[in-house]
Amino acid sequence: MRIKQHQSPNASVRSPDFIADVDTGERREVDIGIHVPTANGETFIAIECRDRRAQQSVE
């Protein structure tokens, strides 16, 4: 959890994490979700890890 140790000690790092799809509202999985509290609410960073050797689908 280097993000918490070195960048933002208040960050919440979740793996996997789930967010609402902006088009359908369905829950979508992201590999890593970083939630950082701010004065205006929260900053959210999603990280997806992919193996690019094979063709990927949206699922």
SS3 13: strand
**Alpha-carbon distance 21 to 30, whole Å?**
11
Structural domain that includes position 35: 2-47
pLDDT at 54: 72
Q: Is residue 10 part of a domain?
A: yes
- Per-residue pLDDT tens over the stretch 20-51: 999 999 999 999 999 989 999 999 999 988 77
- pTM (2 decimals)? 0.70
Total count of domains within the chain: 1
**Alpha-carbon distance 33 to 5, whole Å?**
16
Q: Is residue 22 part of a domain?
A: yes
